[in-house]
Amino acid sequence: MSTLKDTLTQATKDAMKARAKERLATLRLINAEIKRIEVDERIELDDARILALLDKMTKQRRDSITQFEKAGRAELAAIEQAEIEVIQEYLPKQLTETEISNIVSSAVKDTGANSMADMGKVIAQVKPQVQGRADMGAVSKLVKAQLA
Pick 147 or 22 by higher pLDDT.
22
Residue 1 has pLDDT above 70, yes or no: no
Question: Quick one: pLDDT at residue 26?
Answer: 96
Q: Is the domain of 111 the same as that of 61?
A: no
Q: Is the domain of 26 the same as that of 84?
A: yes
> Tell me, what CATH number does 47's domain have?
1.10.1510.10
> Tell me, what CATH number does 111's domain have?
1.10.10.410
Q: Is the domain of 63 the same as that of 124?
A: no
Q: Is the domain of 73 the same as that of 133?
A: no
Alpha-carbon distance values, 25 to 29, 67, 127 (Å): 6, 21, 30
DSSP letter at 133 equals: T
Rounded Cα–Cα distance for residues 52 and 55 (Å)? 5
Question: C-alpha dihedral over 43, 48, 53, 55, to 10 degrees?
Answer: 180
Supply the range of the domain harboring residue 79: 3-88
pLDDT digits (tens, 9 = 90+) for 6-17: 999 999 999 999
Q: Is the domain of 84 the same as that of 101?
A: no
Q: Is the domain of 14 the same as that of 39?
A: yes
Mean pLDDT for the stretch of residues 13-30: 96
pLDDT digits (tens, 9 = 90+) for 44-64: 999 888 988 998 999 899 999
**Total number of domains constituting the chain:** 2
Rounded Cα–Cα distance for residues 139 and 123 (Å)? 8
User: Can you give the C-alpha Rg of the chain in angstroms?
Assistant: 18
Q: Is the domain of 83 the same as that of 41?
A: yes
- The candidate with the shortest Cα–Cα distance to 54, out of 80, 13, 24, 88, is 88
Residue 131 has pLDDT above 90, yes or no: no
pLDDT digits (tens, 9 = 90+) for 73-99: 999 999 999 999 999 999 888 888 889
Question: Quick one: pLDDT at residue 129?
Answer: 86
Domain boundary, last residue among 88, 112, 128? 88
Residue 134 has pLDDT above 90, yes or no: no
